[in-house]
Amino acid sequence: MKIGVFDSGLGGLTVVRAMTEVIKGAQIFYVADTKNAPYGEKTPEQILQYSLNITKYLINTHEIDALILACNTATSSAIKELREMYPSLIIIGTEPGIKPAIEQTTTGKIGVLATPATLQGDKYKQLTQALSMQKSVDIYEQACPGLVEQIEKGEIDSEETQALLEKWLLPMRENNVDTIVLGCTHYPLVSQHIENIMNCNVSLIHTGNAISRHLLSLGTQKGHFNEGDLQVHIHTTGTIQIQIIDSIIKKYENIHFIEIENN
């Protein structure tokens, strides 16, 4: 099975990391669109065009069997059009894990950290509205402008990143939030800081494992045998912080790099 995965930068590699623990006998072609990062502060029209360009590249160049939108923002802006354009392709998007958060919370207080575009998107609003009707919960939403850029620059442990997280998380801590949805695939990279700032037993919800299991199920239905070696090929549209990759996918042997265009 040939699997295309893309995100605005390196955050989607947290999904790839989860896939390496589940998927075998496949090739993963990951595109980090670092030239156009972050998607969370672009218009829906721009994000759609970036997504279409990358998908065409992955199909034309690598003949992929499955496409993973490892980006909440791209999923909100592009997945509907992509599924209409490529009905025979396995296409899996990324959504904030509101449902598992509602199932896990004991205080009924849920926090959501996400990009501005994700929180403003219709898909997210429809999801939260539908799920909140199933159980009475209080949802504390927090847009995190600038956090993706900090992570992409390798400033995960910087004082500036710490200060941003403390400002955003203070209302959640004061309101007894016990479950936080990481609504961007970059955010698991600062999960340790989030746990430290919350200073309690907080559950962090991200979707890499669920995506991997769903991909395996759909791939198996189409004849994929989950045996053999897995290769990961990382493609970028701009500069990339190599040291961050090692922190996400540690010592993975079959990683190859190539730079592509996405205008």
Burial code of 211-231, b = ≥16 C-beta within 10 A, e = fewer?
bbeebbebbeeeebeeeeebb
Handedness of CA 260, 234, 90, 219 (dihedral sign): positive
Q: Catalytic residue positions?
A: 71, 184
Question: Which secondary-structure segment (H or E) carries 81?
Answer: helix 72-85
Q: Which amino acid is at 64?
A: I
Amino acid letter, 42: K
- Specify the 3-state DSSP secondary structure of 175: coil
CA 97 vs CA 23, 72, 175, 203, 233: distances in Å: 21, 10, 20, 12, 27
* Cα distances (Å, whole numbers) of residue 76 to 41, 94, 263: 13, 8, 20
Residue with tokens 């989607």: 12
1, HSE (Cβ side, Cα atoms, 13 Å)? 29
